[in-house]
Structure formats: structure tokens, C-alpha cells
């Protein structure tokens, strides 16, 4: 049996762990950073508890709607989130995301593990999207008053 593709991205963010965790769990904050540069979030919801669900809907500059949702499997406030991930157009291609947050002084080290991709193309597309989203996350956190 062949292992399914996965990706890991680490990012150092100049913000406290609590604020980075809030960015992942507060729908209002999600709307500011989630998705690649060419997408704008117009709907976000997050019922952050084990068994709770999230959903994010984005509109790309070409007008295409992207709709992703999942269920929280692990919720450790200010430390770790693990959830399923499926696009509404391909629910059978469910993958899994684990976000780990660790304080390093005033810096937060965010580690994202996204695994169980259907193929390399899906992995590459998500790496592109997450990388751009994390740039937006960094700018969002920098814009927040201390």
C-alpha cells in the first residue's frame, strides 16, 4: 500500500499563542486571512469543540466559489487543533489537518501538518494555498493592536 501525500509547513509568527489560536477559531478573524491571495472569505463558522464543525466559503477573483468544511477531532486551546478537511465539490477526498502552536518567547511557532491527500496535485495545490494564507495571517496579526 502506498502512503498518501502530505505536507508540513512551519511558520514563526510575531504574536502570542493565544492570538494565533484565536485567528484559527474566531470566524471574524478567519475571514481576514484564510485562503490564498486571490480569494476573499465571505462566510466563516467554527464550532470549536470535539465533534464540532467549521466551514469557510471564499470567492476567487475569477468569481469561483471555494467551500471547505470539516469536523474537529482534537481541540487543545492555545496548543493544538486537528480536524478533517473536505471541499464541498469533492467530499470523498477528505484529508486531515493538524495545527500545533508553541510559544518561543514572544513568537509563536505554528506547525501545520496536512495529510491524506488523494494525490500529489492536491498536495501541491494545498501547499500553494496554505503558504499564501499564512502570509495573510502574518499581516493580519501584525495589524492587530498589542
The answer as to whether 2 is a domain residue is: no
Q: What is the dihedral of CA 72, 99, 135, 70, to 10 degrees?
A: -20
Q: How many structural domains is the chain composed of?
A: 1
Average pLDDT over residues 98-125: 97
The answer as to whether 83 is a domain residue is: yes
Hey, is 23 helix, strand or coil?
helix
Hey, is 105 helix, strand or coil?
coil
Helix segments in the chain, DSSP class H:
17-25, 27-33, 120-143
pTM beyond 0.85 = yes
The answer as to whether 68 is a domain residue is: yes
Q: Please check the confidence at residue 25 and state whether its pLDDT lies above 60.
A: yes
Q: How far apart are CA 99 and CA 79, in angstroms?
A: 8
Name the average pLDDT for the chain: 96
- Per residue in 90-107, pLDDT (tens digit) is 999 999 999 999 999 999
| Cell numbers placing 44 | 466563516
Domain span at residue 60 reads 7-143
- Answer yes or no: are the C-beta atoms of 101 and 80 closer than 8 Å: yes
List the CATH number of the domain containing 31: 3.30.530.20
Amino acid at each position: 500500500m502506498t502512503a498518501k501525500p502530505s505536507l508540513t509547513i512551519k511558520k514563526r509568527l510575531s504574536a502570542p499563542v493565544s492570538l494565533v489560536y484565536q485567528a484559527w477559531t474566531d470566524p471574524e478573524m478567519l475571514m481576514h486571512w484564510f485562503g490564498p491571495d486571490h480569494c476573499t472569505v465571505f462566510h466563516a463558522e467554527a464550532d470549536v469543540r470535539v465533534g464540532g464543525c467549521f466551514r469557510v466559503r471564499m470567492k476567487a477573483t475569477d468569481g469561483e466559489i471555494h467551500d471547505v468544511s470539516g469536523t474537529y477531532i482534537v481541540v487543545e486551546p492555545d496548543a493544538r487543533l486537528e480536524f478533517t478537511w473536505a471541499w464541498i465539490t469533492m467530499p470523498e477526498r477528505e484529508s486531515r489537518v493538524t495545527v500545533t502552536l508553541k510559544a518561543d518567547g514572544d513568537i509563536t511557532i505554528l506547525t501545520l501538518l496536512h495529510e491524506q491527500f488523494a494525490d500529489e496535485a492536491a498536495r501541491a495545490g494545498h501547499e500553494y494555498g496554505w503558504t499564501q494564507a499564512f502570509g495573510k495571517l502574518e499581516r493580519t496579526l501584525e495589524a492587530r493592536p498589542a
